Amino acid sequence: MKLFDVYPLYPIELVKAQGSTVWAKDGQEYLDLYGGHAVISIGHSHPHYVAKMTEQLHNIGFYSNSIIISGQEELAEKLGRVSGYPSYQLFLTNSGAESNENALKLASFHTGRKKVVAFTKAFHGRTAGAVAVTDNPSIVAPINDTSHVSFHPFNQLEGLEQVITEETAAVIVEGIQGVGGIQVASTPFLQALRTRCDETGAQLILDSVQCGYGRSGKFFSHQFADIHPDMMTTAKGMGNGFPIGGVLIAPHIQASYGLLGTTFGGNHLACTAANAVLDIIQEEKLMENATKQGDYLMRELAGISGIKEVRGRGLMIGIELESPVGPVRDALLNTHHIFCGYAGKHTLRLLPSLGMDQAIADRFLESLTKTLKA
Ligand SMILES: Cc1ncc(COP(=O)(O)O)c(C=O)c1O
């Protein structure tokens, strides 16, 4: 059997990783400033994470949601406390798309409505509901194309009253658009969404899959706007590589047996991974570090010629180049041995471990300066 060929691949196989460093099979060392799409939050193979996962695997790796899994309770308590949402409820999933899928479903169950408002350049995942609210027709199959979704221009306040109505079940928005090119949702925009949702009863979902979990310097990037969504969705950095996602659900939304469900979501190993991540985020003050390193990077990047704009918050950074991003990304990887991401045709995307230090930032800044001069 052959693999279903949907991913263009770099000819690199990684065999070892530690912190922000990864090593290929041929011995080449790389600096990882992308974390496999924002997944590596506390650093690769963090010793606390490895110890906890190993211990858990020796005890019990999996059982389904038909028995008590105390790691889930521990995670709900810790996540509520660290994120600043202790009164919210937690539903555990396996991925970002699945988290959004469940949040949309819950909004629809709660309101009895079908319509959803999403935004231009949004990316919410590839499963049926998540892809329907994603603004990219090329990945929407005919079966996922629904008339229930309206797209409104991101960050535009004008027209929100017309598009969000008493028929709207949910408004879904990223606090910082990732795939859309690191576009930060403005405070007036997020506050206007909150107000309009309150007026109409629509449920406000903040997709925090990429911008959450401390990456912005706050646990959730919408906390800069001082709003409280009805639901937040998470995944990526939550398990530092072990698949786990979650929906944080406001107290007014009530659970009932059978309303949502999953076989794998919240299993023993997944909860151990997520609990270890939250331990390290707190112990190593990674949100503070994300702010410090992010501010430093953004300040220094602003002075490099060949850069049109620097966007983002904390360690979620978009560098809009004057030239196409492809050759720059390739040179960073092949000549300077640095993994970065991209978004669109001109934006380089940095999503490093929240534990990165200034020496790493300086190595990147020097390499990028040389690349843009070449
Ligand atoms: C904002 C956002 N939402 C949802 C998803 C989908 O997550 P997953 O690939 O885990 O399904 C992504 C993935 O890139 C994302 O960036």
Percentage with pLDDT > 70 across the chain: 100
Ligand 1 lined by 39 (C-beta under 6 Å): no
Q: Judge whether residue 334 has pLDDT over 90.
A: yes
Q: Which atom of ligand 1 is nearest to the CA of 100?
A: 4
List, in sequence order, every beta strand (DSSP E) within 286-358.
307-313, 316-321, 338-339, 341-343, 347-350
Structure-token match 């990732």, residue found = 178
- Within this chain, do residues 224 and 81 fall inside the same structural domain, yes or no? yes
Q: What is the pLDDT of residue 10?
A: 93
Are 131 and 217 part of one and the same domain? yes
Query: 209 CA to middle of ligand 1, Å?
Result: 6
Q: Say if residue 369 is in the same domain as residue 292.
A: yes
231 and 300 fall within a common domain: no
Question: What pLDDT score does 374 carry?
Answer: 84
7, 40, 41, 123: residue to mutate for ligand 1 pocket, most atoms within 8 A of CB: 123
pLDDT digits (tens, 9 = 90+) for 296-333: 999 999 999 999 999 999 999 999 999 999 999 999 99
Centre of ligand 1 to C-alpha 80, Å, is 22
Confirm whether pTM is higher than 0.85: yes
Provide the residue type at 159 as one letter: G
Domain boundary among 247, 268, 283: 283
Same domain, 179 and 320: no
Q: Tell me, yes or no, whether 206 and 80 share the same domain.
A: yes
pLDDT for the residue numbered 255? 98
Q: Which two tokens stand for residue 196?
A: 């309009």
* Averaged pLDDT, 91-98: 98
Number of domains in the chain: 2
Which two tokens mark 167?
């028929």
* Structural domain contains residue 102: yes
Question: Does residue 68 lie in a domain region?
Answer: yes
Q: Is residue 6 part of a domain?
A: no
279 and 292 in a single domain? The answer is no
Taking all residues of the chain, what is their mean pLDDT, rounded to a whole number?
98
Residues of 353-370 as b/e, b for ≥16 C-beta within 10 angstroms?
A: bbbbeeebbebbbebbbe
Q: Which residues contact 63 (CB under 8 A, 6 or more apart)?
A: 69, 267, 268
Alpha carbons 286 and 268: distance in angstroms, whole number: 25
Residue 341 CB partners (closer than 8 Å, separation 6+): 34, 37, 329, 348, 349, 350, 351
Single residue among 250, 267, 283 that ends a domain in this structure: 283
- In CATH, what number is assigned to the domain containing residue 291? 3.90.1150.10
Site to probe by mutation for ligand 1, drawn from 102, 207, 209, 234 as the one with most ligand atoms within 8 Å of Cβ, is 209
Pocket perturbation via mutation, ligand 1, pick of 221, 236, 264 by most ligand atoms within 8 A of CB = 236
Task: Name the residue at shortest CA distance from atom 8 of ligand 1.
Answer: 96
2 falls within a domain = no
The number of the ligand 1 atom at minimal distance from the alpha carbon of 125 is 6
Backbone torsions φ then ψ of 16, nearest 5 degrees: -155, 150
89 band by pLDDT with thresholds 50, 70 and 90? very high
Ligand 1: centre distance to CA 37 (Å): 9
Could you give the CA distance from residue 212 to residue 99 in angstroms, rounded to a whole number? 13
What does the alpha-carbon distance between residue 295 and residue 313 come to, in Å, rounded to a whole number?
8
Kindly provide the b/e burial profile for residues 228-264, where b requires at least 16 CB atoms within 10 angstroms of the residue's own CB. Answer: bbbbbbbbbbbbbbbbbbbbbbbeebeeeeeebebeb
The verdict on 243 and 361 lying in the same domain is no
For the purposes of burial, counting CB atoms within 10 Å of the CB of 51, is it exposed (0-12), middle (13-18) or buried (19 or more)? exposed
Q: What is the CATH number of the domain that holds 236?
A: 3.40.640.10
Structural domain harbouring 172: 47-283
Cβ–ligand 1 distance for 180 under 6 Å, the answer no
Three-state DSSP state, 171 = strand
Find out whether 122 and 180 touch, Cβ atoms under 8 Å. Answer: yes
Of 309, 307, 332, 303, residue with least CA distance to 322:
307
* Residue 235 near ligand 1, beta carbon < 6 Å: yes
Shared-domain flag, residues 234 and 313: no
Cα radius of gyration (the chain): 20
Query: What's the pLDDT score for residue 117?
Result: 98
- Ligand 1 atom index nearest CA of 235: 10
**CA 368 to each of CA 21, 279, 326, 364: distance values in angstroms, whole numbers, following the listed order:** 18, 33, 13, 6
Same domain, 289 and 205: no
Tell me, yes or no, whether 271 and 308 share the same domain: no
Residues 69 and 127 in one domain: yes
Task: Establish if 121 belongs to a structural domain.
Answer: yes
Q: Residue 285 has what pLDDT?
A: 98
Asked, for residue 1, whether it belongs to a domain, the answer is no
